[in-house]
Amino acid sequence: MAGQSLNGKRIAFLATDGFEQVELTRPWEEIRKAGADVELIALRSDEIQGMHHAEKGDRFKPDKTVSEVDAVDYDGLVLPGGVANPDELRLDKHAVRFIRSFFDQSKPVAAICHGPWTLIEADVVAGRTVTSWPSLKTDLKNAGAQWVDAEVQVDNGLVTSRKPDDLDAFCAKAIEEFAEGVHLGQPHGKRPEAART
């Protein structure tokens, strides 16, 4: 990760109760070390609960709520995993809008473990090659993505990884993509209307 500077960049972390704590804290630390300003965005202003697998971890105070932010104000987005976290995020229209806006603006997004679930709801994975926690494979393929079993997969600004053991590779690639910035010509990932019927 040495050599990549994120000075002047602003990166959003979107999470809610049930996020896998290390999948937020480790990228947060690495991205801050690279020079970026980071903000924790949540569904509500209350503290959110981190998890260490099935055990409760620490609680974190969000900087802002997703209903009051806009992707135009950020240079990239990180989506930690945890089972409950993305499951709740994908049901929130503001969270889905926020995620989709990064793709509309061709900005880099990094999602790990169960984090890619939210990408399905935002309808941005069709035509992309991604990885995730293995139980999401069928969901991602049904949404039009090509799924691979790799510690990290990069597809034109979208960084995905499988699990906490992949965090070294995930953080390095996320920082690299955030440093590159906007990916002009980035395919939107949206499925053609005919494919939805």
- The answer to whether residue 26 sits within a structural domain is yes
55 within a domain of the structure (yes/no):
yes
pLDDT at 189 over 60: no
Q: List the domain range (segments joined by +) for residue 81.
A: 10-183
Catalytic residue among 52, 113, 171, 188: 113
| Catalytic residue (one of 114, 171, 183, 188) | 114
The predicted-structure confidence for 174-183, as pLDDT tens digits, reads as follows: 999 999 999 8
Domain assignment present for residue 148? The answer is yes
Taking the C-alpha atoms of residue 104 and residue 101, their distance in angstroms, rounded to an integer, is 5
Number of domains the chain contains? 1
Has residue 3 been placed in a domain?
no
Known catalytic residue: 114? yes
The residue-averaged pLDDT of 2-23 equals 94
pLDDT attached to residue 136: 98
Q: Is the pTM of this model over 0.75?
A: yes
Q: Is 27 within a domain?
A: yes
CATH number of the CATH domain containing 98 = 3.40.50.880
Instruction: Find, among 53, 27, 49, 48, the residue nearest to 38 by Cα.
Output: 27
d(CA 85, CA 79): 9
- Give the span between the Cα atoms of 173 and 168, in whole angstroms: 9
